[in-house]
Structures are given as structure tokens and as C-alpha cells.
A and B are shown apart, each in its own frame.
Chain A
Amino acid sequence: MKIDWAALGTVAVVSIVMSVLFTVLLASGIRAVSAARLRQQRGGGSGAVLAGGYSLLGLAGLLVLFGIWLIVPQFH
């Protein structure tokens, strides 16, 4: 019996990359949305920033859906 170092390496890299990707989408989305809200309060226009923020959050949501797809064996 040998230790599958390649599988271990893949698991490590994929875990870190996916976790960072989710975090970047989430944190940037939150930052954009809250910046847009602040600008709205001051009476400025902010439609584009708000839309951009929500689409980043939507992408993070897609990652969660991908997680569900991975977990439920009936989907694949």
C-alpha cells in the first residue's frame, strides 16, 4: 500500500483555490454593495456598482449551488 501523494496534493490545491475564490467573490461583492449603499445615502448615483456587487454575490451563490450538486449523488 502506497500513499497517494498526487491525490493529496490535488486535494490541497483545489481546497485552497476554491476557498480563496469563494472568499474573493463574497468579500468583493459585500464591499461593492455597501459602497453603493453609502453613495446612495449621500444622494449619488450608484447603479453600476450595486449591480456589479450583486453579480459577484451571485457568483459566490453559484459556487454554493455547485457544492450541492457535488454532494447529491442523484445529480451525477
Chain B
Amino acid sequence: MSLLFIVIAVVLVALIFDFTNGFHDSANAMAGPIATGALTARKAVIIAAVLNVVGACLSTEVAKTISGGFFDERLVNPSMVLAGLVGAIVWNLLTWLFGIPSSSSHALFGGLIGAVVVGAGLSSVHGWVVVSKVLLPAVMAPLVAGLAAAVSTKIAYRITRRTPSGRTNTGFKYAQAFTASLVALAHGTSDGQKTMGVITLVLIAGGFQAVGTGPHWWVILAAGVAIGLGTYSGGWRIMRTLGKGIVDIDTPQGATSGAATTATILASSHLGFGLSTTHVATGAILGSGVGRDGGEVRWGMARKLVVAWLLTLPGAAIIGGLAALLAERGAVGPVVLLVLLAAVCVVIWVVSRRNQVTSHNVTDSREVMVLASATPSTYPEDPRLAPAKGSGRAGGKAKKKQKKIKSGV
């Protein structure tokens, strides 16, 4: 009975992870188009969600391993997978709370590594693989995508410098919407199958599915729907950081950073050097700021993000390890772990409500506030961003909402 319970728990928690994966990575595709107004916030997440589900259903080859080469696959048992998933979910939620785009795959690997270390000792982890698959790509992805975006941006401005911007914007916005859609589709095919792989492997390990068979139809459907719902829910805090926090994206920059993101992701997934979609998208937006004359890049924010990327694997590993300590304790452990996970989710959600970021106010400010209790978003550096002047309708709506809240409705 306890094995069946663990397997059911893993399936549920894997779907929750899939959901957080969706809302964490929604911004990779759609932060740019929303920031430049190429797509409205609602439309953008609907397109991304549909393409994510389509992508997830298209992917034929489901991950056969979950270790990614980081540790010995044979050491993993279902309760370790449960603990690893918990670590990944908590890390994804924490980074979301602070509006930090971080790699969901790194969080998943980190969580699993932590659980395996607790269960089987430190020597079971291949340290060199961690360096070559995590540290190096985390540095190279923003460099490659950033360079592609910087050069493209420079060229785009040069070619159209005599053309009045009123005439160029439509074309650039269409291009941005198309490239963003490609990113969303590619994300569905690559990340949708990760969850399917985890669920299928645990079903096989538990003896509920024949060895060597592909995922059940309900696994494909559930994973697709979970990542689609996550994408649709938007992850607006990360959207704000990526769309407004690093660079003020102008329309041509939106198109070039979209092109650079798409080109780098497709090249990386077809030419054998894996790069994280999150790191690529962030790097491309950064590069589009570097490539524009007079473009302002907030390097402080960029530094913060790189630090967060480097912390993602160890951070998720620590949480995953702590979770594993609990999950291995007989029949009660996993139950306590699930209750704790639910509690952490609720606490983070409640804290996020203090300074909510929604589809209405996502582009109103550059900063994602967490602990500061001031309800209206503050505009510390640039008064032009205040909703009264800058972003008319959306800002007005947000204000009305806040008034409602204040008057106790």
C-alpha cells in the first residue's frame, strides 16, 4: 500500500512541478511581446498556453532518464523522486516570489541531486558533469544569445534609421509575435516531456507499467494540461522582471531579441550543446539593450539574475535533501512532506498577495516588491512610469482595484 501511495504522490507532485514550470517559463516567450505591446497580456498567455499543450502532445521521444547524467540512475527510488520534485517546486515558487527568471530544469536536477546525496551519499554525484552542464552553460547562454541580439539590434536600427518609426512598428511587432510563438512551441516539446518522463519512470519502477513502454495517454494529457495551465496563469512577477526590469524594450529590440532567443534555442537543441531557455531569453533581452545606441541596461539586475542562476542548483538541492530526510521516514514521512509542501505553497502565495503583479499591472513598474508593504507599486527611479501619465488604462484599472481593496470590498 505504501508504494502505491508514493507513486500516486509522485504523479500529483510531478504535475504540480509541471504547473510551476509553465508559469516560470511563460515569460521566456511572452515577456518581450507584452512589454512592447506586440500582444496584449491576455492574448499572449493564451497563445503560449495553447502552443505549450500542442508542443507537449507533439513530443514523441520522452526523456528516458531523469538523472541528466548527474548521478547514478540506479540509486533513485520513488521517494527520492518525490523529495526532488518538492525541492524543485519550492525553489521555483521562491524565485517566482522575487520575480527571478531561473531555470526550471536546473531546479529539477538540483532537487533530485539533493535527494540522492541524502539517500546515497555525496560520492554518488558526478561533480564534473555539474560543472559542464550547469555552470558553463549558465555563463555561455546569455553570452551567445546576448551577442546575437546585440548584433541584430544594431543592424535593425541601422537599416531602418531613415524610416519613421510609425511605419516600422507593425512589422516588428508581427515578427516578435511569431518568434515568441516559436519559443512557446519549442518549450512545450522540451519541457512537457520532462514531467511525462518522471511520471513514466516512477510508474515503471513501481511495477505499474511494463518496462520499455512509452507514457500512457493520460500521462501525456495531464502533463500537457498542467504545463498549459501554468503558462496561462502567467507568472506575472517574472514577466515584469524580464520585460521591464533589465532593459526598456523598444519595438525593434523586441523583434531582434525574439529572433535571437529563437535562433539560439533551436540551434542549441539541434546541434548538441544544451542551453537553458530561461538563460537564453534573459541574455537576448540584455543583448538587445547593449546593441541599441543609448539603450540603458540595468546591470545590477543582470548580476542579481546570474547569482540566482548559480544558486538554483545548490538551493534546490538543499531543499530536496531536507525533503528526502523526511520522505525516507516510513509511511508517515511522505504524508508530512506533502502537508509541508502545501503549507509552503500557501505561505508563498499569501506573501505574494502583499504586492501582487497581475496581467493588468505587469508593465506598470520595473520592480517586483516582496516585503515592502506599500500597496501601490512605487516608481523610485523614473516618474514617467507612473500610471497616471504613462500606461493609461492598465494603470487606472490597477488603481481602482487597489481602492476597492482599501475600502474593504
Contacts and interface: CB of A to CB of B under 8 A. Distances in A.
Contacts of B140: 8, 12
B98 interface: no
B171 A30 contact: yes
Interface of B: 55, 58-61, 69, 126, 128-129, 132, 136, 140, 144-145, 147-149, 151-153, 155-156, 159-160, 162-164, 167-168, 171-172, 175, 178-179, 182, 185-186, 189, 252, 255-256, 259-260, 262-264, 266-268, 270-273, 275
A34 B259 contact: no
B151 A20 contact: yes
A33 to B, nearest CB: 7
A27 B155 contact: yes
A39 interface: no
Interface string A26-40: 111111011101100
B160 A30 contact: yes
A55 interface: no
Interface of A: 1-4, 7-8, 10-12, 14-16, 18-20, 22-24, 26-31, 33-35, 37-38, 57, 60-61, 64, 67-68, 70-74
Contact of B271 (A10, A35, A57, A72): A10
Contact of B144 (A15, A57, A73): A15
Contacts of A26: 156, 171-172, 175, 255, 259
Given A14-B267, A73-B61, A73-B189, A22 B272 contact: no
Contacts of A18: 259, 263, 266-267
B167 A23 contact: no
Contact of A31 (B126, B144, B159, B256): B159
Given A2-B132, A15-B144, 5 more contacts: A18-B266, A22-B175, A24-B159, A30-B167, A70-B270
A14 B159 contact: no
Contacts of B58: 72-74
B178 to A, nearest CB: 5
Nearest to B59: A73
A19 B256 contact: yes
Contacts of B60: 73-74
B53 to A, nearest CB: 14
